[in-house]
Structure 1
Amino acid sequence: MKKTLGFIGGGNMGQAMIGGIIESKIFNPEDIMVSDLNDNLLKKVEDKYGVKTTNDNKELVKHADIIVLAVKPHICDIVIKGIKNDISEDTLVVSIAAGKSIGQLEESFEKNVKIIRVMPNTPALVGKAMSAISSNENVSKDELSQITDIFESFGEAELVDEKLMDVVVGTSGSSPAYVYMFIEAIADGAVLEGMPRDKAYKMAAQSVLGAAEMVLKTGMHPGELKDMVCSPGGTTIEAVRTLEEKGFRSAVIEAVRNCTNKSRNLS
């Protein structure tokens, strides 16, 4: 494993990854450096995770073998312009900027760089991330394996064709937000019927967690699992009928499509 990991950007996604990596012990805190322009944020990150921090991206690049571009897509080019002359041919550059293709990143660096494009999600913070990984031809199989190991240290990771990356954004990158809304809506329904909110959140969240585990561990089609819960003329099929009547599945499909298209248009 490379000795030093650098994060340019200490926002929510970067911190989620750092928390997961440290929790898994794949990197020690002293082997991680974070750069950001926000001094208050850096102080928070340093205190919380025990990592090194700096305001200078160039300083980070000089010390890091693997650099994670954990910045918003619209400032990615500005960041790259400031560090491109300091990137060595052995440096692995990992971008988690949504909508930024490998080709666009290569153009910004204006030289041969080892680029890995990854779309993780925020459950990294609890070791349950889903990350999709693509790379350019400069990255060796061993190096790609190293990056995969990093992302699998705080969840699951899949190698995907880069043309699917925008779909990944809509499917796993942004979908935790959809799920949180679903949990909140279930809990609101329970509260409406008299259940205390803390119990409603726990019951809704645990049910979503358990249902997801059923899909992953049984390998059964989600429709089969749904049918197992729906007794003839019972309560569950009545709830399913109501969701269908209100356009539940259609709304989710459109949400994924619109999210995917937004990602395609970010650049």
Structure 2
Amino acid sequence: MSSQLPQSLVLVGAGKMGGAMLEGWVKLGLEGHRITLIDPHIGEAMSALAAEKGMNVNPAKPAPAEVVVLATKPQMLDTAAPSVQALIGPGTLLISVLAGKTLGDLGQRLPNAGAMVRAMPNLPASVGRGITAAAAGPGVSAAQRAMADQLLAGVGKVEWLESEGLIDAVTAVSGSGPAYVFHLVECMAAAGAAVGLPADLAERLARATVEGAGELLFQSDLSPATLRQNVTSPGGTTAAALAVLMAEQDGMPPLLRRAVAAAKKRAEELAG
């Protein structure tokens, strides 16, 4: 096992995101006996994984751990805080993936936590293709940051932020972003039906096109702009469509700027 993986880890909350992270850590080589799960409503899949790997589930008196990962619903923080406090020792690293809960919020509710990382993963983490933005508090050592980086990389790529203040903007781009892409598929399918395709065929074509374009982006070192240019022949069909989509007044650029700005504003409101 890599020296950057913790000797002991407690995961508080094994729902969709916590469960995805747990599966990623198992693939990284984190041994089950080093993992404790705390979730009063743990699902069947996570229970089965825990039993298979020999994890400790909902112990009566869990010991402080090298790493505590907080993955409950944000509104449960106040309720969970007293039990989480008991898990935090002098050298514990706390990693929070709670949306809208700042390092200041965590510090107020968990005063034992001297080293904290706030992370914002997104939905594709559930298939190991997420992108997580992370901000480290002032008490995080270089070794703890490296450990957090490896744990977060278990579900995809990791970007470290210079300032926690960028988290709301991250939320607006990558946190909410998968929904934008799913809606793009919906719109492409509806547009295909509008020009005469059977609706089910239009949806299959739109879905496969976005899946393939995403994979091409994943595998290519070329910029999105270069990939777009490579598939656009002057005077061709793609160029005709892009003239509409790229219009500065009513095309995708101003539309997405407004959408991302609205999401960022709402993230700021939710963070209080």
- Could you tell me whether the CA contact under 8 Å between 1:73 and 1:266 is conserved in 2? no
Gap runs ≥5 in structure 2: none
Q: What pairs up with 1:111-260 in 2 under 5 angstroms? A: 111-160=112-161, 161-190=163-192, 193-194=197-198, 195=201, 197-198=203-204, 200-214=206-220, 217-218=221-222, 220=223, 222-244=224-246, 247-260=251-264
Tell me the alpha carbon deviations over residues 233-255 of structure 1, each in whole angstroms, 9 at most, x when there is no partner: 21112221232465323222222
The answer as to 2:25 corresponding to 1:21 is yes
- Could you tell me whether the CA contact under 8 Å between 1:187 and 1:204 is conserved in 2? no
Deviates more, 1:174-183 or 1:184-193: 184-193
Percent identity, aligned pairs only? Answer: 27
Following TM superposition, by how much is the alpha carbon of 1:65 offset from its aligned partner in structure 2, in angstroms? 2.4
Task: Give the SS at the match of 1:232.
Answer: coil
1:265 & 1:236 partners in 2: Cα distance? Answer: 40
The answer as to 2:100 corresponding to 1:99 is yes
1:155 & 1:83 partners in 2: Cα distance? Answer: 26
Q: Which residue of 1 aligns with 2:40?
A: 37
The answer as to 2:263 corresponding to 1:262 is no
Following TM superposition, by how much is the alpha carbon of 1:116 offset from its aligned partner in structure 2, in angstroms? 1.0
Partner amino acid for 2:131?
M
- Could you tell me whether the CA contact under 8 Å between 2:189 and 2:202 is conserved in 1? no
Deviates more, 1:181-190 or 1:13-22: 181-190
- Could you tell me whether the CA contact under 8 Å between 2:10 and 2:69 is conserved in 1? yes
- Aligned-pair RMSD on alpha carbons? 2.6
Task: Give the SS at the match of 1:71.
Answer: coil
1:182 & 1:34 partners in 2: Cα distance? Answer: 37
- Could you tell me whether the CA contact under 8 Å between 1:16 and 1:123 is conserved in 2? no
Partner amino acid for 1:12?
K
2:264 & 2:205 partners in 1: Cα distance? Answer: 34
Tell me the alpha carbon deviations over residues 178-213 of structure 1, each in whole angstroms, 9 at most, x when there is no partner: 122223433444465243744552233112321454
**Normalized per residue, which structure has more helix?**
1
Partner amino acid for 1:65?
E
Task: Give the SS at the match of 2:91.
Answer: coil
Q: TM-score, normalised by structure 1?
A: 0.84
